[in-house]
Amino acid sequence: MKKTLIAFIIILGTYGCHNNVEVDRTEMYYITNSLSTKISYQLIGISENRANQLGYKVEADIDPNSTVEVFKGSFGVGHLEIDSIKVLDINKVSIYKVDMLSFVNKSNAVKINEYVVKCTLDITPTLINQK
């Protein structure tokens, strides 16, 4: 029953977008490092070759008190190819992992215009202690 409901929702969603394919929505995903040490992130669910084709880095460092763009996702033609993001400490030990829906829900989302949304996830001591 659950699979049928999900399939029905997907069909309705794609039907509604069918006539609007030329008008994609773009979500820009950023991470802010509010910790006192350097961290890094890893994109999970996408190969390094595919990430490079799309202009992403699968793994990159984030200095303390700085913000980096992780990737941009366009909706309408396709969907995100990333399952989740892992945040690593300076020793490459995972300190936080978030799936993309939770990333958006825990982010500060700012609507740039009707087609672009910027989502910034702030990595704080409180956030990483919530695991």
Q: Which amino acid is at 111?
A: K
Would you give the DSSP letter of residue 19? G
Measured CA to CA, the distance from residue 56 to residue 52 in angstroms comes to 5
Per-residue pLDDT, 68? 96
Domains defined along the chain, listed by start? 23-128 (2.60.40)
Q: What is the pLDDT of residues 83-102, one digit of tens each?
A: 899 999 999 999 999 998 89
Q: pLDDT at residue 10 above 50?
A: yes
Q: pLDDT at residue 25 above 70?
A: yes
Per-residue pLDDT, 78? 45
Whole-model pTM?
0.76
Question: Could you tell me which residues are beta bridge partners of residue 62?
Answer: 39
Per-residue pLDDT, 131? 59
In terms of pLDDT, which residue wins out, 109 or 10? 109
